[in-house]
Chain A
Amino acid sequence: MTVKGSRILTAIIRLEGSYFCYDNPGALQDNFKKDLDLSTTQFVWLYSIYSWPNVILCFIGGFLIDRVFGTRLGTIIYLFILLIGQLLFAFGGLLDIFWLMIVGRFVFGIGAESLAVAQNNYAVLWFKGKELNMVFGLQLSFARVGSTVNFMVMESVYKYVNQFYKGPMCIGVVLLFASTTCIMSFICALFLGWMDKRAQRILRRNDNPGGEIARLSDVKTFKLTFWMVSIICVAYYVAIFPFIALGKVFFMRKYDFSAEEANTVNSIVYIISAVASPVFGLVIDKTGRNVMWVFLSVFVTICAHSILAFTFLNPYVGMTIMGLAYSMLASSLWPLVALIIPEYQLGTAYGICQAVQNLGLAVISMFAGMIVDHGGYFMLEIFFIGWLTIALFATVVMWLYDSNKKGNLNMTPSEREQHIDSLTSIASAKMMGSSSVEEISPEDILNQSTPALRNRYIRRTGVEGGTASDCEPLLDQ
């Protein structure tokens, strides 16, 4: 347990730097604008240069993990890129060169988003079938902690540094200070890589027993359920993040809140998710039935948005419900990908999810602002409920498809175990009967352990559109 605990902890600290630094400009918005003499538009560039390239780049980043780097090396490389980006950003501040800052944010973005993909891979590699849901919950939770700490700390760091340095110099020094969190993350990544390598040696773990190679064309063979997960990734998250971005004025105007109160109620979703998502993850680990949980979270989120749109009930009610539902979704949705996609393609799969999510958020955020200007917040709420309806629809499609194909997505953990066993017996029975069809030579059988064979059989049949194994691409060993 202590080994496991330290693994989880290090894995999470590794991400901390990225989340901490991502919102550095946001926490110092006024200081940035004043010291560097930025217009609001220029300031917004600092964020858009981060997000727009990742509409494509994190898909490539994910694929490179599968094909070239592997999870371990990929993590280290992406963290290195991230660190370089943050340093460029800081030096851009020090030297008061705006374009260098933009370049820094761009490089930082490439590293950070692909790193998130690698992180998901790590989580699956280590915790699949056991505490995976909880680990995903914890990841979300610590992401929130990272950005919250950033918002709390940066202002006072700025004030302190401002005693010694002024203007752009001050911003640069503060950013350099922030990059120490990235260095810390980098050290964690190295340590984690070492641990992983050791674990692999000791446990004689084979991450890719079938020796499969990821190809871009594999994307075509991804199952319907995966695409449904991607749709939910877009349709659900666009109803959360852009809403929170526009929420402050909504709470001030509709509920007559002061600016401070509005900020508090607006941040409640994140605060709740920091506490609740690991807890929900644990519950989902015990109960399984991920699809049901996804359905429930989307439905509850619709209720939360409806409370905010159609009633004058205290917004804390709606936002608290939304926070709980959001935590539940994060803990149940992301692990689904690992149940659908074989491990050797996971990087690509998570990359796709992240890429479409980035695209959705970038487009919808712009669109949401226009809706508020021309149709008001009521219309905006209806727009979000519409997106959630799409997410709900995708969930139902996934559910029906999975239950028709007798898949394992909505099974309890014990059912999943049984499912694996039954698949194994079918597989070995078939192999005894007609091994030639599967091109398995006697040497193969002699040289490989049973699980490896089982996996290989299942993977092939699964990937090539086989029958019983449709939703069981990889088994735990």
Chain B
Amino acid sequence: MLRVLCIFLVIVLCSAKELRSLNAQLNPNCPPVVCMNNDESTITVVHISAVGEHDTLHYLWDFTGKPSVLIALTSPITNLTINWENFILNDPENSVIFSTKPIYTSTVVMNRLWQFNDAEDTGTFSYGVNSSEINVYDTRYITWTRNEFRKSVHEVEVTVKGDNLSFFGDGRISLNFKCFASVDHGIDFPHLLHSENSTQFDLVFDGLQVNSSFKNPRFAAEFIFVSEESRFNNQSFMLHSKKSLDDEHTPGIFEIVEIASPKSLMANKGSFIQYRPVSYTHPERDVSTSTELHITMPTNLDNPTIQLNTSLAWLYYGPLLNTILVQGFNVSFGMSGDGFYTKTNYSTWTFIMGYGTPPNEQLSMFVVIVASIGLGIPLILLVGGGCYICIKRTRNR
């Protein structure tokens, strides 16, 4: 018990320490031609450099095409330049340039959204089973309007709303990206644990119009995970889930799921996605509004360059996408018996994406103390009471 307590102290002390210092810029050096002539809030590119002792982690959040996150690990003094003309014209030639070549890069793209008819009420989605029961929405055709941008050296946050009248009626998709300087739990449900090497992605499907011909409509989303690792030996992202006894931070959810690149698994030098398999069906997120979330195995894409050609992944990697590790997976929201999307017209997903190994959840100090009191006292009573009775009996004799 003492050992656990010591580990805790160390973690608590560590978490108080800022491990990186964040420096964020919205639309860095964007020329007036690009950013002023348009309605400014529809062009949202955020660059964050998280400067550590030995290296710098760059995050690039892009909402000009398909919503994407790029993370790049570089030497401490490396600058990023966006060549806005090329960037807007979707030309991969020199549009995102690092002053020194990054050690490692990885990208996540929200590629397509699905609406499907869950005839069997399972909550799971598999593409291509019955195309008449699936509607496809390409995220490039959704207008992403910036709602909020906040920055400090500790935390950077941006929120955008996505609309498309013909897709979703008055409904909206809300995306919230966050980036942190230290290890801690998120403020909002599901309170994911994030490290200083990760960025959080929160997705909300709010009041989307459903296809009236679908009896049991649900939504799903396709994400594409790119990692600058060679594709030889049919290497693949590994999906695995583990269970913990403790649901202290995400009440009711005991499982944690990770998708890790081969380098992350083998040498802690790759990228990962980590999340709790929970989707909330109401803005007030708690146990009673939680439902399940299902993910498919990551699989190779047929034509990565075509599929990704309006995303940050294309802008940064270009034709390289054909040789590096690029895989897609689908996430669907809901579980058997929860009344489908139409019951509340609300679905969420939150995950973190980062570099290195996924952070490991630990019992909090509070739980450890309470648990040791709760279990310690009965044991003391048992031993103490036993001794007392023994002594009393021998004395009486």
Q: Which residues of A contact B (CB under 8 A)?
A: 249-250, 253-254, 258-259, 299, 302, 306, 309-312, 372-379, 382, 385-386, 388-389, 392-393, 396, 399-400, 403
**Per-residue A-contact encoding for B376-388, CB less than 8 Å = 1, 0 else:** 0110011001001
Asked whether B251 lies within 8 Å of A382 as measured between CB atoms, the reply is: no
B371 contacts partner chain A, Cβ-Cβ < 8 Å: yes
B138 contacts partner chain A, Cβ-Cβ < 8 Å: no
Asked whether A376 lies within 8 Å of B251 as measured between CB atoms, the reply is: yes
Asked whether A379 lies within 8 Å of B248 as measured between CB atoms, the reply is: yes
Asked whether A253 lies within 8 Å of B337 as measured between CB atoms, the reply is: no
Asked whether B378 lies within 8 Å of A302 as measured between CB atoms, the reply is: yes
Q: What CA separation (Å) do A378 and B374 show in the bound complex? A: 13
B40 contacts partner chain A, Cβ-Cβ < 8 Å: no
Knowing A254-B254, A372-B252, A374-B251 are in contact, say whether A306-B375 is a contact too (CB < 8 A). Answer: yes
Asked whether B243 lies within 8 Å of A378 as measured between CB atoms, the reply is: no
Given contacts A372-B251, A377-B254, 10 further A-B contacts (CB under 8 A): A253-B247, A299-B378, A302-B375, A302-B378, A306-B375, A378-B247, A382-B374, A385-B371, A389-B373, A393-B381
**Per-residue A-contact encoding for B240-258, CB less than 8 Å = 1, 0 else:** 0001011111111110000
Quick one: which of B251, B253, B337, B375 contacts A375, CB cutoff 8 A?
B251
Give the nearest-CB partner of A370 in chain B: B286
Closest beta carbon of chain A to B328's beta carbon, Å: 26
B287 contacts partner chain A, Cβ-Cβ < 8 Å: yes
Give the nearest-CB partner of B191 in chain A: A376
Closest beta carbon of chain B to A33's beta carbon, Å: 14
Complex interface: chain A residues within 8 A of B41 (CB): none
**Per-residue A-contact encoding for B353-386, CB less than 8 Å = 1, 0 else:** 0000000000000010011011101100110010
Q: What CA separation (Å) do A309 and B336 show in the bound complex? A: 26
Asked whether B382 lies within 8 Å of A299 as measured between CB atoms, the reply is: yes
Q: Mind listing 23 A-B residue pairs with CB under 8 Å? A: A253-B247, A254-B243, A299-B382, A311-B245, A312-B245, A372-B287, A373-B251, A373-B286, A375-B248, A376-B250, A376-B252, A379-B248, A379-B367, A382-B367, A382-B370, A385-B374, A385-B375, A386-B374, A389-B377, A393-B377, A396-B381, A399-B385, A400-B388
B29 contacts partner chain A, Cβ-Cβ < 8 Å: no
Q: What CA separation (Å) do A400 and B253 show in the bound complex? A: 43
Closest beta carbon of chain B to A377's beta carbon, Å: 5
Q: What CA separation (Å) do A278 and B392 show in the bound complex? A: 34
Q: What CA separation (Å) do A373 and B252 show in the bound complex? A: 8
Give the nearest-CB partner of B388 in chain A: A400
B288 contacts partner chain A, Cβ-Cβ < 8 Å: yes
Asked whether B374 lies within 8 Å of A376 as measured between CB atoms, the reply is: no
Asked whether A377 lies within 8 Å of B251 as measured between CB atoms, the reply is: yes
Complex interface: chain A residues within 8 A of B245 (CB): 309-312, 378
Complex interface: chain A residues within 8 A of B288 (CB): 373
Q: What CA separation (Å) do A373 and B249 show in the bound complex? A: 10
Quick one: which of B248, B287, B371, B378 contacts A249, CB cutoff 8 A?
B287
Q: What CA separation (Å) do A421 and B377 show in the bound complex? A: 39
Complex interface: chain B residues within 8 A of A392 (CB): 377-378, 381
Complex interface: chain A residues within 8 A of B287 (CB): 249, 372-373
Q: What CA separation (Å) do A3 and B385 show in the bound complex? A: 44
Q: What CA separation (Å) do A377 and B255 show in the bound complex? A: 13
Complex interface: chain B residues within 8 A of A372 (CB): 251-252, 287
Closest beta carbon of chain B to A259's beta carbon, Å: 6
Q: What CA separation (Å) do A375 and B249 show in the bound complex? A: 7
Complex interface: chain A residues within 8 A of B250 (CB): 376
Q: What CA separation (Å) do A386 and B370 show in the bound complex? A: 8
Q: What CA separation (Å) do A377 and B251 show in the bound complex? A: 6
Complex interface: chain B residues within 8 A of A306 (CB): 375
Asked whether A253 lies within 8 Å of B252 as measured between CB atoms, the reply is: yes
Quick one: which of A259, A377, A403 contacts B252, CB cutoff 8 A?
A377
Give the nearest-CB partner of B250 in chain A: A376
Closest beta carbon of chain B to A230's beta carbon, Å: 19
Asked whether A378 lies within 8 Å of B367 as measured between CB atoms, the reply is: yes
Complex interface: chain A residues within 8 A of B375 (CB): 302, 306, 385
Q: What CA separation (Å) do A389 and B251 show in the bound complex? A: 24
Complex interface: chain A residues within 8 A of B252 (CB): 249-250, 253, 372, 376-377
Give the nearest-CB partner of B335 in chain A: A252
Q: What CA separation (Å) do A375 and B247 show in the bound complex? A: 7
Asked whether B337 lies within 8 Å of A396 as measured between CB atoms, the reply is: no
Q: What CA separation (Å) do A389 and B372 show in the bound complex? A: 12
Complex interface: chain A residues within 8 A of B382 (CB): 299
Closest beta carbon of chain A to B126's beta carbon, Å: 20
Give the nearest-CB partner of B370 in chain A: A382
Smallest CB-CB A-B distances: 3 pairs: A376-B247, A376-B251, A385-B374
Q: What CA separation (Å) do A378 and B368 show in the bound complex? A: 11
Give the nearest-CB partner of A390 in chain B: B377
Asked whether B248 lies within 8 Å of A376 as measured between CB atoms, the reply is: yes
Closest beta carbon of chain B to A133's beta carbon, Å: 23
Give the nearest-CB partner of B254 in chain A: A254
Complex interface: chain B residues within 8 A of A312 (CB): 243, 245
Closest beta carbon of chain B to A430's beta carbon, Å: 26
Asked whether B373 lies within 8 Å of A386 as measured between CB atoms, the reply is: yes
Closest beta carbon of chain A to B237's beta carbon, Å: 23
Q: What CA separation (Å) do A180 and B370 show in the bound complex? A: 49
Closest beta carbon of chain A to B285's beta carbon, Å: 10
Q: What CA separation (Å) do A409 and B378 show in the bound complex? A: 22
Closest beta carbon of chain B to A109's beta carbon, Å: 27
Asked whether B246 lies within 8 Å of A378 as measured between CB atoms, the reply is: yes
Complex interface: chain B residues within 8 A of A254 (CB): 243, 247, 254
Asked whether A389 lies within 8 Å of B374 as measured between CB atoms, the reply is: yes
Q: What CA separation (Å) do A376 and B373 show in the bound complex? A: 19
Q: What CA separation (Å) do A423 and B159 show in the bound complex? A: 81
Complex interface: chain A residues within 8 A of B377 (CB): 389, 392-393
Complex interface: chain B residues within 8 A of A393 (CB): 377, 381
**Per-residue A-contact encoding for B256-268, CB less than 8 Å = 1, 0 else:** 0000000000000
Closest beta carbon of chain A to B23's beta carbon, Å: 35
Within 8 A of A (CB), among B33-61: none
Quick one: which of A253, A376, A386, A396 contacts B385, CB cutoff 8 A?
A396
Q: What CA separation (Å) do A386 and B376 show in the bound complex? A: 10
Asked whether A259 lies within 8 Å of B374 as measured between CB atoms, the reply is: no
Q: What CA separation (Å) do A250 and B251 show in the bound complex? A: 10
Complex interface: chain B residues within 8 A of A253 (CB): 247, 252-254
Knowing A249-B252, A249-B287, A259-B337 are in contact, say whether A389-B378 is a contact too (CB < 8 A). Answer: yes
Complex interface: chain A residues within 8 A of B251 (CB): 372-377
Complex interface: chain B residues within 8 A of A249 (CB): 252, 287
Complex interface: chain B residues within 8 A of A377 (CB): 247, 251-252, 254
Most buried by B among A258, A309, A376, A400: A376
Closest beta carbon of chain B to A72's beta carbon, Å: 42
Most buried by A among B248, B251, B373, B392: B251
Within 8 A of A (CB), among B252-306: 252-254, 286-288
Give the nearest-CB partner of B286 in chain A: A373
Complex interface: chain A residues within 8 A of B370 (CB): 379, 382, 386
